[in-house]
Amino acid sequence: MNVAPLGSSTPVQDHVALAEIELCGELMIAASAADGDRLSPDRIDEVLKVGATAGTVEAAEK
């Protein structure tokens, strides 16, 4: 995480941290709108806009 020195007027943003916060927010919104207690792995992938690759699917099936 990038931190500006004390007394500095330069704003510093950690773009990775901001992206992670945004993704967490999207998951919280989806979870609050879900009917069940938990989001399914497929729904989580949909919310995070990720998909399984062929290698991942093959490894999971073994």
3-state secondary structure the chain: CCCCCCCCCCCCCCHHHHHHHHHHHHHHHHHHHCCCCCCCHHHHHHHHCCCCCHHHHHHHHC
**pTM attached to this predicted model:** 0.59
Residue 45 covered by a domain = yes
Residue that is written with structure tokens 């497929």 in the block? 42
Residue 60 domain boundaries: 35-62
Residue 8 covered by a domain = no
Structure tokens at 48: 């995070």
Question: Residue-wise pLDDT tens for the chain (62 aa)?
Answer: 566 666 666 666 788 889 999 999 999 999 999 988 889 999 999 999 998 665 555 555 55
The confidence score (pLDDT) of residue 51 equals 80
Residue 58 covered by a domain = yes
CB atoms within 10 A of CB 23: 14
